[in-house]
Amino acid sequence: MSDIRTVLESPVTGAGSPAQAGIGKPLSVVSLRKTYGDVVAVDEASMEIAAGEFVTFLGASGSGKTTTLMMIAGFAEPDSGTITVGDRDVTRLAPQKRNLGFVFQQYLLFPHMTVGENIAFPLQLRGVSKADTRRRVGETLEIVGLTGYGGRYPRELSGGQQQRVALCRALVYRPPVVLMDEPLGALDKKLRDQLQVEIKAIQRELGLTVIYVTHDQEEALVLSDRIAVMRDGLIDQFDTPRELFERPKTPFVADFLGAANFLPGQVEETADEHTLVRLEHGGVLRARPHAFARGAAVDAAIQPGRLRACTPDEGFCTGTVETVTYVGTLVRVGLRLAGLDKLLRIEAPAGWAPIAGERIGVKADAQDVNLFGTEGR
């Protein structure tokens, strides 16, 4: 397999016409699998990505995000499975023949070239005329707010500016698909927030298909049309941010995206409009309708922001306020429930000022309660 530097420096072949490049075509991955010895890095990953879509692989370190991206880019060879761009099978093609743009955490700018030369490089490889190159380099620098920096060397730029240039170099030849692996990982929070907005704006403006890798939930939610939540080489759920948050398909997704509270219990009644759960530590909770049989053992998952304080007799349970933490516009409250070994986490607008030791009830809308079967776990 080729390494990234070699590919960046080698001539482009077979990427001439937009049709060949697959512009406006969807990308699909079918049963992609990759092992390293005993380690299954990626296990049967499948997904369809629409043209113009911003898709993020989200998962903890080691969950297989980079490996999946590297197989799509052509830097890692899959054990099995196929990668298709439009109707073109690219699984065994060399990276430079796939015509994909990529941006990685390490900037990988050519240190001996100026900013302008760095950005011009992919255009020169493609035989774009000098005049066109100059114009497109200027336009691209303008998009990322670096007009006037073309004559500087990478070492004369800050980390954030270098990352912007790397972004320019990946975008300048308008590749149909741009792959980004934690491109903002090395930057501080403020700069990261700012560049997230820019990346999203550029992606929309140019209609790019982007596949983005991050371990940061918030970043994934801000950027993505859809997110593939990865765990141990498997895609747990591939969905819109809203669906992942509102309708997680696994406890892992509920926990990873919103840090849900899990309350064990047993299904007491199932009806068209709701499912009633008798909680282990006491109380009956109304959940949205689920297809569980009466008596089924379940965990009820509720996001901290979807729990509301109420008078003790109004709630599905009561508890004692143990911790109160103000986080700017929000207040986070840890509630001690009798019979539950961990604190129930509630998040509310900071206008609420509960006092430690106070006894309160909690309630939730049925539609905000997701149930997961725990039988056999």
Q: Determine the Cα–Cα distance for residues 104 and 7; give it in Å rounded to an integer.
A: 14
Q: How big, in percent rounded to 5, are the helix, strand and coil portions of the chain?
A: 30, 35, 40
Residue 284 in the binding site for ligand ADP (CB under 6 A) = no
Q: Determine the Cα–Cα distance for residues 132 and 185; give it in Å rounded to an integer.
A: 33
Q: Decide whether 6 or 129 has the Cβ nearer to ligand ADP.
A: 6
Stretch that binds ligand ADP, among 65-73, 101-109, 255-263, 323-331 (CB under 6 A): 65-73
Among 39, 259, 338, 350, contact with ligand ADP (rule: CB under 6 A): 39
Among 25, 65, 169, 226, contact with ligand ADP (rule: CB under 6 A): 65
Residue 133 in the binding site for Mg ion (CB under 5 A) = no
Cβ atoms of residues 139 and 217 within 8 Å? no
**Least distance in Å: CB of 75 to Mg ion?**
12
- Of 13, 162, 165, 140, give the one whose Cα is nearest residue 74: 13
Q: Decide whether 76 or 113 has the Cβ nearer to ligand ADP.
A: 76
Residue 63 in the binding site for ligand ADP (CB under 6 A) = yes
Q: Decide whether 104 or 372 has the Cβ nearer to ligand ADP.
A: 104
Among 56, 66, 214, 370, contact with Mg ion (rule: CB under 5 A): 66
Residue 67 in the binding site for ligand ADP (CB under 6 A) = yes
Contacts of 148 (CB under 8 A, 6+ apart): 141
Q: Decide whether 15 or 228 has the Cβ nearer to Mg ion.
A: 228
**Exposed/middle/buried for residue 112 (C-beta within 10 Å: 0-12, 13-18, 19+):** exposed
**Least distance in Å: CB of 65 to Mg ion?**
5
Q: Decide whether 41 or 257 has the Cβ nearer to ligand ADP.
A: 41
Among 28, 43, 47, 62, contact with ligand ADP (rule: CB under 6 A): 62
Kindly state the tokens that stand for 143: 């998009």
Q: Decide whether 59 or 175 has the Cβ nearer to ligand ADP.
A: 59
The vertex-12 CA angle with 9 and 18, nearest 5°, equals 140
Residue 214 in the binding site for ligand ADP (CB under 6 A) = no
- Of 325, 346, 349, give the one whose Cα is nearest residue 335: 346
Identify the three-state secondary structure at position 239. strand
Q: Decide whether 12 or 186 has the Cβ nearer to ligand ADP.
A: 186
What's the Rg (C-alpha) of the chain? 25
Among 56, 66, 99, 162, contact with ligand ADP (rule: CB under 6 A): 66
User: DSSP strand E in the chain: where?
Assistant: 27-36, 39-49, 54-59, 80-85, 88-89, 101-104, 177-181, 209-214, 226-231, 234-239, 261-270, 275-279, 284-287, 297-302, 308-310, 317-327, 330-336, 344-349, 359-363, 370-373
Among 17, 38, 61, 377, contact with ligand ADP (rule: CB under 6 A): 61
Binding site for Mg ion (CB under 5 A): 66
Which residues make up the interface to ligand ADP (CB under 6 A)? 36, 39, 41, 59, 61-67
